[in-house]
A and B are shown apart, each in its own frame.
Chain A
Amino acid sequence: AQSVSQHNHHVILSEAASLELGCNYSYGGTVNLFWYVQYPGQHLQLLLKYFSGDPLVKGIKGFEAEFIKSKFSFNLRKPSVQWSDTAEYFCAVVESGYSTLTFGKGTMLLVSP
Chain B
Amino acid sequence: ETGVTQSPTHLIKTRGQQVTLRCSSQSGHNTVSWYQQALGQGPQFIFQYYREEENGRGNFPPRFSGLQFPNYSSELNVNALELDDSALYLCASSFSLRGDSTDTQYFGPGTRLTVL
Do A and B pair up? The answer is no
